[in-house]
């Protein structure tokens, strides 16, 4: 972390070395979603949802909130998480759609997806240090590719991330 408490990506490792061998800071991180579905699948996990998100998702699906909770959530880590289903890819989020467009994984509730999903890959735990970012990039082909997201946007997204 930098002396002012910001994440490692603002203080170092991206960019080319300057004439003295020090790294120049690249102002941000690169990311472009490839719609691979890797962030929505894998080992069993949790996608935490809050009351506001539950209300929005229930409304989107046209079900009562208690029905939504019963069908699409589980109790986890002191909160409520979306359920998963076992597929050939691992444990997919209940709303991950791999069939509508062959070769593309789509979120069936994209415009109402939880904050945890909206903030990927700029999660606090992915921005602890360069190794954490590299670990996330091992399963996400969109990390370190695509447009540069300014450090200010990365900070705002990181700060909004529940994990």
Query: Which range has the top average pLDDT, 23-27, 74-78, 88-92?
Result: 88-92
pLDDT class of 20 with cuts at 50, 70, 90: low
| Separation CA 129–CA 11 (nearest Å) | 10
Percentage of the chain exceeding pLDDT 70: 84
Residue 49 phi/psi, 5-degree rounding, is -125, 140
Q: Is the pLDDT of residue 17 over 80?
A: no
Assessment of whether the complete model's pTM goes beyond 0.75: yes
Contacts of 37 by beta carbon, 8 Å cutoff, 6+ apart: 89, 92, 96, 98, 105
For residues 62-86, average pLDDT: 96
**Which helix H or strand E contains 147, and what residues bound it?**
strand 143-150
Say if CB 20 and CB 138 are below 8 A apart.
Answer: no
| Separation CA 109–CA 106 (nearest Å) | 9
Give the model's pLDDT for residue 4.
46
Kindly report, residue by residue over 55-66, the tens digit of the pLDDT: 999 999 999 999
Domains of the chain, by residue range, sit at 8-160
Q: Is the pLDDT of residue 25 over 50?
A: no
pLDDT class of 19 with cuts at 50, 70, 90: low
Say if CB 161 and CB 123 are below 8 A apart.
Answer: yes
Q: Is the pLDDT of residue 3 over 90?
A: no
Kindly report, residue by residue over 107-140, the tens digit of the pLDDT: 999 999 999 999 999 999 999 888 899 999 999 9
Say if CB 49 and CB 57 are below 8 A apart.
Answer: yes
| Separation CA 23–CA 105 (nearest Å) | 37
| Burial classification of residue 121, based on how many CB atoms lie within 10 Å of its CB (0-12 exposed, 13-18 middle, 19 or more buried) | buried
pLDDT class of 23 with cuts at 50, 70, 90: very low
* pLDDT: which is higher, 16 or 105: 105
| Separation CA 46–CA 119 (nearest Å) | 14
């Amino acid at each position: 972390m930098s002396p002012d408490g910001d994440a490692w990506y603002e203080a170092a490792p991206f960019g080319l070395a300057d004439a003295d061998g020090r790294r120049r800071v690249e102002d941000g991180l690169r990311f472009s979603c490839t719609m691979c579905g890797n962030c929505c699948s894998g080992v069993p996990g949790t996608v935490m949802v809050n009351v506001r998100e539950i209300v929005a998702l229930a409304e989107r699906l046209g079900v009562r909130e208690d029905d939504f909770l019963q069908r699409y959530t589980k109790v986890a880590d002191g909160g409520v998480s979306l359920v998963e289903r076992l597929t050939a890819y691992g444990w997919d989020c209940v709303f991950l759609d791999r069939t509508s467009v062959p070769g593309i994984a789509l979120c069936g509730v994209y415009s109402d997806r939880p904050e945890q999903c909206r903030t990927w890959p700029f999660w606090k735990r992915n921005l602890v240090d360069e190794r954490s970012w590299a670990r996330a990039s091992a399963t996400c082909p969109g990390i370190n590719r695509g447009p540069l997201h300014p450090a200010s946007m990365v900070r705002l997204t990181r700060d909004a991330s529940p994990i």
